[in-house]
Structure 1
Amino acid sequence: MLRPAADADMDAVLAWRNHPDVRAVSLTRHVIAPEEHEAWWSSTKDRDDREVLVYERHGVPSGVVTFFDLDREAGSSWWGYYLDNDGLTERGELLPAWIEIQRQAVRFAWDELGLAELHGEVLDDNAAVRRFNKRNGFEEIETDEREIDGERVVVHHVRATTPRETQ
């Protein structure tokens, strides 16, 4: 289940984002300080061009989905997500949660936000996510090289379009 993030979720979202496995596949890899996170949280929650949702698995907060650069009029947005890797691993639910959060987020984009296009970015060496994206209708439409923490990395811009025939 996806639900709007609440202030009570702020600390958990920061802990999930700072997990080494999440940072390793992110476009920013530094440990985010509580002050930096609080500033982001405060500036994000009331913006019309953002949606921050908490993913709950069996009633337990287990991840976050962020839609940003959300343009409801144009029907497009960028997005990203990450999970509570430690908690889900302890419960033996990391893989099914990873599958479920993406599927729920994409459905939310189409059904709740009414989007026609959903954009994201994935690192070239994140092969599992690249394969999963393709299985879920995302295509790699552009590739570029960026510097992340002093390292040159290849980043793929991915896009999915709504399966609706009424576009």
Structure 2
Amino acid sequence: MKEQYEKCVQGERIRLRPIQHRDIEKIRTWRNDERVRNCFVYSGVISKEQQENWWNEYQTRDDDRMYVIEKQDDGFAIGAVALYAVTEQSCEFGRLMIGEPSALGGGYALEAVQLLTKFAIEEIGVQRILLEVFDSNCKAISIYEKAGYMPTAQDGKLIHMEYNRKDK
């Protein structure tokens, strides 16, 4: 299954490129920004050692793929996104962040969600994509709904959403 993830996913204005070791410090910096950090279930600051340990573990997993979001015109990395817990039937969508402040509000998050959702359905062949988002993250909820995700349940402050291939 891992071979399917090795290619870039091309969009109109962005491309999703599989992360490489050289990306993990930039991703850690984005992830530790308070604006980004507060949108994650684990909202603690991540050390270089923790990030390196994550990378080493990540390399051993075939069901987890993370991508850097790059602008097509100049290759500038602006964020990251992932699919994980990938099986033949379903996967989870997450780790979405637009880390570069200059890229905020430019529609890049929506394009990334649409691209990776299409890739998961058409290339990997999953039937369902699941995600969790804080109920206070109205911007992300709106993006997910525009991309076709539907709320399915709420567990405390987390809203569970799903994209179902059969519904499309």
Query: TM-score, length-normalised on structure 1?
Result: 0.82
Give the distance between the partners of 2:167 and 2:59, measured in 1 at CA. Answer: 29
| Moved segments of 4+, more than 6 Å | none
The equivalent of 2:110 in structure 1 is 99
The equivalent of 1:162 in structure 2 is 165
Counterpart amino acid of residue 159 in structure 2 = H
Q: Does 1:84 align with 2:99?
A: yes
Following superposition, the deviation at residue 99 of structure 1 comes to 2.0
Following superposition, the deviation at residue 164 of structure 1 comes to 8.1
Please state whether the residue corresponding to 1:95 is helix, strand or coil: coil
Residues 15 and 160 of structure 1: is their aligned pair in 2 closer, same or farther, counting only changes over 3 Å?
same
Please state whether the residue corresponding to 1:67 is helix, strand or coil: strand
Following superposition, the deviation at residue 40 of structure 1 comes to 0.9
Please state whether the residue corresponding to 1:70 is helix, strand or coil: coil
The equivalent of 1:138 in structure 2 is 149
Asked if structure 2 preserves the Cα contact closer than 8 Å seen for 1:18 and 1:31, the reply is: yes
Please state whether the residue corresponding to 1:3 is helix, strand or coil: strand
Residue of structure 2 aligned with 1:109, choices 120, 133, 136: 120
Residues 87 and 7 of structure 1: is their aligned pair in 2 closer, same or farther, counting only changes over 3 Å?
farther
Please list the CA deviations of residues 94-123 of structure 1 after superposition, one character each: whole Å capped at 9, or x if unmatched.
432122211112122112222111110010
Following superposition, the deviation at residue 30 of structure 1 comes to 1.0
Following superposition, the deviation at residue 78 of structure 1 comes to 0.7
Q: Does 1:41 align with 2:55?
A: yes
Asked if structure 2 preserves the Cα contact closer than 8 Å seen for 1:44 and 1:50, the reply is: yes
Give the distance between the partners of 2:70 and 2:128, measured in 1 at CA. Answer: 25
Equivalent runs, 1:61-72 vs 2, <5 Å: 61-71=77-87
